A and B are shown apart, each in its own frame.
Chain A
């Protein structure tokens, strides 16, 4: 009984941590633009110490939207592809798909943007394309490994009881793969948080804006402010995904 209570208390403590962390993140993003004196030493003489062209909070939300959309697409595409090539006629395409996705990973993000802009123009879309390209591989590889790793005696028991192949996927394979795939998605999201800053170069508005502005205008204060904001946002995203992963493990 006491052990159960202690466990409950621990879970309660952990549950309270996430809101506290998210509140801290919001406060930081709100406070950074008011922390001019703190960065004054980094800024060149006469230049502003904090980025004011657009509100940091809005840039952060935009940044999150880009990463969120890209991760959702990577998850859907990666999982869908893994499902398709692990059953029936799709299995023949598995080696091809795996090589293609690994190849996509080797192209540098800047090159992807440089190639994408002439085709689809400036803005958010080329950035999302680049992010999806990098997010896809971890999700796909992990989902493939998870499906391969479904214990054969479980699949046999499931088939023996009369689960159809769709039911086997939904009721057995996906729930067992979920925690692993979500962990991979967390990795993808962390990478994407950093990569998305480059989107500012092609006109997507992200937390890269102050960094790019700082680089272009030789103002290290902007660069530091942007980096702090990106890091804090990445930590917040990681915490949320970690919570999601834990929830999927419990069931």
Chain B
């Protein structure tokens, strides 16, 4: 054996290897080609949101990852390995899966529902119990609800249980198919914040399907727009909202309202000026420093003001934001 040159940094390799790869994947359903040589690469630790017109194959794309569907052509790799060569059942136990609604077992309590995959994996009882407790806290479920049956929970709580169940065995990949679309706007915003925070904290790879463009822009590190069986675009919310007028991407992401969506991506703090002589006095309209420019615009319209006083979390004025500061830079 010869002395090996400097060993490659294996940790770096693992980080660089995409979590999920679609290689020229073709899929036909009911005699129609749904996916047509789709190429898609999901780097690990990213929050990829899949959007596209209804029926374009978003759900099918997710199901190709956990082998609920199999490709007619091309291959899907998870963690560098062609999943067609892996045992489907074992593959699925390592991938969290959340569907829109109705996915909880009605004859099992919250506790049993959450414990599904850990039990399949044969975890010891004490470890399962500890994990359930942890997840109930993480998803803000009332602790006394774990003995309840799904029909005794609100829709939002059911969805929290669905997410807890998908996270139970700590899978590195989480697939979510329109998980919040059946919820009221308040609960939806709450759960969006929570799933984003959980993803950032745990570094899981998430592939999330929605048809709500605002939800996509809020959650995504990367947006994948699917159209006619292929990727129409893939990039950060900032990149995709910068699409050329007249393109499919531009139209899908809001057309005439795309400017508002761009505003949603920027924080007031980044545009605020230090308080000058023209600053509005106390009692004038205010906006939080961590609000988005879109919220600032809304406040200006609401108060009929072209200048807002910017305040920090404690309510202290830290600057001002004027109408002209909203313009793209």
Asked if A pairs with B, the answer is yes
Question: A interface vs B, CB < 8 Å?
Answer: 151, 153-154, 156-164, 167, 171-172, 175-176, 251
Residues of A within 8 A of B267 (CB): none
Other-chain contact of B103, A153, A163, A164 (Cβ < 8 Å): A153
Residues of A within 8 A of B91 (CB): 162
Q: List B residues 97-142 near A (Cβ within 8 Å).
A: 97, 99-107, 116-117, 120
Q: CB distance B92 to A162 under 8 Å?
A: yes
Bound form: Cα–Cα A156–B68 in Å: 8
Nearest chain B residue, comparing its CB with the CB of A153:
B102
Question: Which of B95, B104, B120 is most buried by chain A, counting CB atoms within 10 A of its CB?
Answer: B120
B262 at the interface (CB under 8 A from A): no
B149-175 interface bits toward A, Cβ cutoff 8 Å, 1 = contact, 0 = none: 000000000000000011000000001
How many A-B residue pairs have C-beta atoms within 8 angstroms? Tell me.
Answer: 53
Other-chain contact of A151, B89, B97, B102, B165 (Cβ < 8 Å): B102
Bound form: Cα–Cα A176–B149 in Å: 14
Bound form: Cα–Cα A199–B28 in Å: 59
Residues of A within 8 A of B117 (CB): 161-162
Other-chain contact of A161, B93, B100, B102, B106 (Cβ < 8 Å): B93
For residue B65, give the distance in angstroms from its CB to the closest CB of chain A.
10
Residues of B within 8 A of A160 (CB): 66, 68, 92, 95, 97, 99, 175
Are A176 and B106 also in contact (CB < 8 A) when A159-B68, A161-B97, A161-B120 are?
Answer: yes
Q: CB distance A161 to B92 under 8 Å?
A: yes
Residues of B within 8 A of A164 (CB): 89
Q: CB distance A157 to B103 under 8 Å?
A: yes
Bound form: Cα–Cα A112–B117 in Å: 50
For residue A158, give the distance in angstroms from its CB to the closest CB of chain B.
8
Residues of B within 8 A of A162 (CB): 89-93, 117, 120
Q: CB distance B92 to A154 under 8 Å?
A: no
Other-chain contact of B99, A156, A163, A175, A251 (Cβ < 8 Å): A156
